[in-house]
Amino acid sequence: MNSQTFNKLTPYMFMAPAVIIMAIALLYPLGYMVYGSFRDWDPSQSISETEFVGFKNYITLFFDPAFRESLSVTLIFAFTVVIAEMVIGVGLALLLDRNIRGMSVLRTLFILPMMIAPVVVGLMWRYMYHPTVGTFNRTLKSWGFEGVDWLGQHALLSVIIADIWQWTPFIFILALAALQSLPRSALEAARIDGATGWQQIIYIKLPLMMPVLIVTALLRLIDAFKVLEVILVMTEGGPGLSTEIVALRISRTATEFRELGTAAAMSNYLLILLLFFTLAMFAFTRLQEARAARLARQVQEEG
Amino acid sequence: MFTFENVYKIMNLGSAVESMPKIRLDKLIKRYGAVQVLHGIDLEMDEDEFTVLVGPSGCGKSTTLRMIAGLESVSDGEIYINDKPVSHLEPKDRGLAMVFQDYALYPHMDVARNISFALRLQKRPKAEIDAKVREVAATVGLSEFLHRKPGALSGGQRQRVAMARALAKDSDIFLFDEPLSNLDAKLRGQMRAELGVMRQNVHKNMIYVTHDQIEAMTLADRIVVMHGGYIQQQGKPEELFKRPANKFVAGFLGSPPMNFLDAELKSDGDQLFAAGDGFKLAVPSELAATLGETAGAVTLGIRPSDLNYDPDAADDVALDLRVTVSEYIGAQSVLMCACGGASVTVELKSETPIALGETLRFAVRPEGIHLFDRKTEKAL
Ligand SMILES: Nc1ncnc2c1ncn2[C@@H]1O[C@H](COP(=O)(O)OP(=O)(O)OP(=O)(O)O)[C@@H](O)[C@H]1O
Ligand SMILES: [Mg+2]
């Protein structure tokens, strides 16, 4: 091997250990899951003893009303929380983007919920929602109202509220960062041009924050599809199937119904959905970059 | 309509009416926390006057301008526009337009929408807005770029968009914060000339911040020299150039800058002399007459342009300078010379044959002699 090819290979040799570990840690389980989804697989069997069934698991799932219900719960949950969190998070960021004394303390307080472990968040909200001793119903009753059957009749709404409480801070800090990196002088120019506070938000701030906000929303959406612990602790998917999101159904299919093949197929459906959103995010950032590059080229050509 | 003012105008007695200043700053003070950066700025700007605030970096020019614009709060004092106090008003209610150093264009809007933003906020009719945009864009030569985003424009073009955006607003008052400082030297010269032309045609109040004294001298009706949060001197450009109020102004305006030499004032018979290390210059009698009894330690200031190469000049109107460095800059050469212990800059036609280390005699133009109190640095 001459020294030139050796030099070219050097970086790959240094990368090799990381690549191998990544391949084993990421691709092996993924391949295992895809492989398993085409088999009729009981947890007591090793995978080599299982029977190949083709697309049976996928087709069964597709026509399974319980899975469809669970998918629609997931979609409703994910889109509702992301929309609500975006509105509240961005609104708070717009409100708190100013230099008043004590603002940094306030900002820190706002991001606390995000730092609590999801299981703890679930437990906390379960106690607060408790029909008789929970904070909410006690407060309502002390004001003379009827108690609300939070985790019964309004289970989906209740878990949505808990998720909004926990994850709005994520949007808030990203939106705040986006706001603070906006060109100050453009905002000053807008003030001189006669824009009121609202007009500055609508015509200048939001459009300029949009790239960050879109990526943030997609990130949050991907995350919301995978939420598990909080709902598991609060409702275990009940009552009925009303809060059984796909992640929860996967875990129940695998452990309670002992159908690993179906669970794997379900995971793959979720994976495809998430892949779609991830690709959308990727495409969006690439589009932005391409647009910036095109503008830069245009300037240079005239140069 | 019959008013006395109109009558005065018709009778060409306009000057008899004391015209009120358009903008007046009254003991304007700015503090950031405990730090005071403006120490009582008093300034009056007449109708249609082009005022240039000039001074070294950090002297408070931008702060003053931004306070007039309403982008910085006023710590103390008051700003009057048309004799009305405005320091409590929002920027949008002060009726002014501003061009920023970094242009401050709206990156997500194309040129046309940048220019028309203020008009669109005012909900003007669409036809009127379109006409205005076309007119203004034509004035600054941007007609072909109306549908470009700022990201796809060169620095000079962005600068024009910023200018067009300010022009479109039809305000009475224009504020400029170093609008040319991000351009290269050639473009800056060209834009400066264009601004000069615009200045002839657009009869508006303009306040222009720069640290470039050439911009200041060429554009200004009134120059305001600032330093350390104080106004050092204000007036017409040639007034400040010919009769600087203190050593700072003298050294700041003019390029290459004024030479300063330590000297003693001494009387010898009827004649007053400024004598120092290696020179003894006669002080012109007009200047001497205004000095009165002051004698002793002074700083002598002479601009390079007031020193002429003249081997035959008499002793008491000339400096003998030993050339240490020669910078060739085209038709002229700039010579760094030693005069005793001090260093003196002079200009010389490049074809004059000189050698480094040579001692040359330069005649001092009598009206080029400036004297400053050594302690207070005030002009004598
Ligand atoms: N937000 C601030 N907090 C504290 N000090 C400030 C602040 N803004 C400006 N200053 C100080 O005020 C002084 C004047 O600043 P200003 O921006 O007016 O200078 P300038 O004359 O425009 O200088 P330049 O030519 O560099 O733009 C400077 O000493 C600066 O450090
Ligand atoms: Mg400045």
Please name the fold of domain B4-95+171-252: Rossmann fold (3.40.50)
Q: Which residues of A touch B70 (CB under 8 A)?
A: 191-192
- The pLDDT tens digits of the residues spanning A235-288 come to 887 787 888 888 888 888 888 888 888 888 888 888 888 888 889 888 988 888
Residue B15 has pLDDT above 80, yes or no: no
Report how far residue A215's alpha carbon sits from residue B276's, in angstroms, rounded to the nearest whole number.
73
Residue A302 binned pLDDT confidence (cut-offs 50, 70, 90) = low
Q: Out of A184-188, A291-295, B95-99, B133-137, which region has the weakest mean confidence (pLDDT)?
A: A291-295
A199 inside 8 A of chain B by CB:
yes
- Helices A103-110 and A65-96 pack at an angle, to 10 degrees, of 170
pLDDT value, residue B127: 93
Nearest-CA residue for ligand 1 atom 6 is B32
What pLDDT, on the 0 to 100 scale, is given for residue A153?
84
CA distance A89 to A68: 31
B45 membership: H or E segment, kind and range? strand B35-45
pLDDT in tens, B142-176: 888 898 899 888 888 898 899 999 989 888 899 99
**Cβ(B30) to ligand 1 under 6 A?**
no
Domain ranges in chain B are: 4-95+171-252, 259-373
Alpha-carbon distance A125 to A234, whole Å? 7
* Residue range B243-260, pLDDT digits in tens: 999 999 999 998 889 999
Ligand 1 within 6 A of B59 CB? Answer: yes
Query: Residues B286-335: pLDDT tens digits?
Result: 888 887 666 678 899 999 999 999 888 888 888 899 999 888 888 888 99
Contact (Cβ atoms closer than 8 angstroms) between residue B215 and residue B192: yes
For chain B, the straight-line distance linking the first and the last C-alpha, in angstroms and rounded, comes to: 51
Q: Nearest-CA distance from B357 to chain A in Å?
A: 47
pLDDT at residue B12, rounded to an integer: 41
Q: Which of B92, B104, B149 sits opposite A194 (nearest CB)?
A: B92
pLDDT of residue A23: 87
pTM, entire model: 0.80
Calculate the dihedral angle through the C-alpha atoms of A132, A135, A139, A145, rounding to the nearest 10 degrees: -40
Contact A296 B117 (CB under 8 A): no
Higher pLDDT, A110 or B37: B37
Q: Are B226 and B234 in contact (CB under 8 A)?
A: no
Which DSSP symbol is given to B204?
S
d(CA B221, CA B81): 19
CATH number of B259-373: 2.40.50.140
CA A89 to chain CA centroid, nearest Å: 15
Q: Give kind and range of the element (H or E) at residue A12.
A: helix A3-22
Place A147 in a pLDDT band, splitting at 50, 70 and 90. Answer: confident
B120-151 pLDDT, tens digit per residue, is: 999 999 999 999 999 989 888 888 889 889 98
Query: By mean pLDDT, which of A92-106, A114-128, B89-103 is the weakest?
Result: A92-106
Do A192 and B165 make contact, defined as CB atoms within 8 angstroms? no
Contacts of B151 in chain A (CB under 8 A): 292, 295-296, 299
At A45, is the pLDDT very low, low, confident or very high (cuts 50, 70, 90)?
Answer: confident
Nearest chain B Cα distance for residue A197, angstroms: 11
pLDDT at B25: 92
Integer Cα distance of B188 and B331 in angstroms: 22
**Which two three-digit tokens encode residue B62?**
């931008």
Distance CA A201, CA B219 (A): 37
- Tell me what pLDDT residue B267 has: 83
Q: Is A45 on the interface with B (CB under 8 A)?
A: no
Q: Do residues B344 and B337 touch, judged by C-beta distance below 8 A?
A: yes
Name residue B30's beta-bridge partners: B38
Find the largest Cα–Cα distance for chain B: 81
- pLDDT-derived band at B348, boundaries 50, 70, 90: confident
B106 to A186: CB separation less than 8 angstroms, yes or no: yes
- Classify domain A55-302 at the CATH class level: mainly alpha
Question: Is B211 touching ligand 1 by the criterion CB < 6 Å?
Answer: yes
